């Protein structure tokens, strides 16, 4: 079902973000190599795509809940999914920001096998030029990664703002549902009170009528007795 697809998407994002956090924590350590940065790049791309797909499914689900014929329990469940997704996206944004800070602070360590080979003639100037060019390439690659992170953070922020509107709308739906439930409960309680009062009133009237009838019967009996005694 659409709701199950959204729930599955949220689960996949949570799992991917947990893995992404472990990769981010390794930035600045001996594990932080160009290959490690590539893993960060691939993981970011995968998470962002999952976020986009799940967001689209959630919007479609929210639109269907606007139908007045939709069960109220379903609306409540879908609203909970929206809030769960919002929490997941907030966590992803935190890790993204941490990744941006760490990747801009540290450059990946270069394995010895990746270093440029020494010149055959032993020219120090040639070696220095090669080292400078290599370092510049590393810096350019790092800067490109940082720009990519900032771009993805911007995309995630846009999705988050759209989601905030959706969650707000879902909150209104929930409030409406709870208001209807409360109103129905209040009406039911009032009906019971009125019914109880009506029942007491009927019983009181019946008792009054019964008492009146007894009094009339008593008075009638006395009158008959007096009449009988007055007879010669």
Q: In this predicted model, what pLDDT tens digit does every residue of 72-114 receive, in sequence order?
A: 788 888 888 888 988 898 899 889 889 888 888 888 876 655 5
What count of Cα atoms within 13 Å lies in the side-chain half-sphere of residue 158? 8
Q: Where along the chain do its domains lie?
A: 2-189
Instruction: Enter the DSSP assignment of 31.
Output: T
CB 8 within 8 A of CB 84: no
> Which contiguous run of DSSP H or E holds residue 188?
helix 124-230
* pLDDT for the residue 199: 55
CB 103 within 8 A of CB 146: yes
Q: How many residues does the chain have?
A: 232
DSSP one-letter string for 39-104: HHHHHHHHHHHHHHHHHHHHHHHHHHTTSTTS-HHHHHHHHHHHHHHHHHHHHHHHHHHHHHHHHH
* pLDDT for the residue 224: 44
Q: In this predicted model, what pLDDT tens digit does every residue of 20-57 receive, in sequence order?
A: 999 999 999 999 998 998 999 899 999 999 999 998 99
Architecture of domain 2-189: Up-down Bundle (1.20)
Greater model confidence, 125 or 103:
103
């Amino acid at each position: 079902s659409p709701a199950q697809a959204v729930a599955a998407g949220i689960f996949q994002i949570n799992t991917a973000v947990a893995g992404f956090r472990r990769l981010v924590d390794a930035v600045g350590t001996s594990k932080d190599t160009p290959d490690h940065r590539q893993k960060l790049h691939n993981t970011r791309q995968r998470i962002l795509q999952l976020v986009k797909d799940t967001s689209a499914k959630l919007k479609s689900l929210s639109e269907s809940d606007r139908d007045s014929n939709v069960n109220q329990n379903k609306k409540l469940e879908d609203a909970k999914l929206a809030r769960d997704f919002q929490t997941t996206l907030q966590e992803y944004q935190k890790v993204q920001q941490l990744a941006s800070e760490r990747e801009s602070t540290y450059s990946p360590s270069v394995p010895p096998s990746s270093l440029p080979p020494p010149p055959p003639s032993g020219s120090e100037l040639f070696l220095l030029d090669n080292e400078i060019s290599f370092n510049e390439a590393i810096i350019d690659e790092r800067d490109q990664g940082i720009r990519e992170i900032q771009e993805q953070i911007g995309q995630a922020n846009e999705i988050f703002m759209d989601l905030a509107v959706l969650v707000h709308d879902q909150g209104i739906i929930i409030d409406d549902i709870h208001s209807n439930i409360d109103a129905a409960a209040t009406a039911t309680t009032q009906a019971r009170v009125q019914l109880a009062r009506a029942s007491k009133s009927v019983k009181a009237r019946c008792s009054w009528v019964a008492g009146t009838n007894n009094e009339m019967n008593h008075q009638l009996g006395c009158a008959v007795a007096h009449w009988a005694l007055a007879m010669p």
